[in-house]
């Protein structure tokens, strides 16, 4: 890891060298992990005739249930036009359908089809089997601590993400 002392402009980090070093180490580890997982996801998911983004959309619909396209866009941190293209592709493939919202007859909601659910189950089983082999060398308490830590990091970061279009280059 390169020395990033000159790149720090936050007074809290400048005053606490241990926090600065720990922050840089966590950032580097997460960056490496995310890059590996992005390629792992791409390599495992593309075998099933969907893109990674399409798979994430299907997973969200399976996990949460029917929702509007606007809500799906927000939960995936995508703009509306990208989400529209993702949903249209999934609809053409028979994995998603648009239905009338029972609470608002003018609105549409997205729901996953049985074929979409089966696809998510297949992809998840494939990925989980591979991850189980990867994690099998770690003791249970380490695996549980990793799950807690990664979950807390994701939750904390998600709370600070703008999901209505956002602004570029804001610090906070």
Mean of all residue pLDDT scores within the chain: 84
The predicted structure's pLDDT at residue 165? 53
- Residues with pLDDT less than 70, the chain: 1-8, 12-13, 40-41, 162-172
- List strand residue ranges (DSSP E) for 34-170, in order: 96-101, 104-112
Q: Would you list the domain boundaries of the chain?
A: 49-158
The predicted structure's pLDDT at residue 144? 94
Q: What is the distance between the alpha carbons of residues 168 and 172, in angstroms, rounded to a whole number?
A: 12
Write the CATH number of the domain with boundaries 49-158.
Answer: 1.10.10.10
The predicted structure's pLDDT at residue 1? 47
């Amino acid at each position: 890891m390169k020395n990033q002392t000159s790149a720090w402009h936050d007074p809290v980090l400048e005053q606490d060298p241990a926090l600065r070093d720990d922050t840089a180490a966590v950032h580097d580890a997460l960056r490496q992990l995310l890059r590996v997982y992005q390629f792992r996801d791409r390599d495992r998911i593309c075998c099933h005739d969907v893109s990674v983004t399409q798979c994430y959309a299907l997973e969200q619909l399976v996990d949460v249930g029917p929702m509007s396209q606007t809500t799906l866009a927000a939960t995936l941190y995508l703009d509306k036009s990208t989400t529209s293209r993702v949903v249209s592709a999934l609809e053409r493939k028979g994995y998603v359908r648009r239905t009338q919202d029972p609470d608002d007859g003018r609105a549409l909601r997205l729901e996953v089809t049985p074929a979409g659910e089966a696809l998510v189950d297949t992809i998840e089983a494939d990925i989980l089997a591979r991850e189980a082999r990867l994690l099998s060398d770690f003791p249970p308490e380490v695996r549980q601590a990793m799950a807690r830590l990664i979950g807390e990091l994701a939750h904390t970061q998600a709370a600070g993400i703008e999901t209505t279009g956002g602004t570029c280059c804001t610090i906070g």
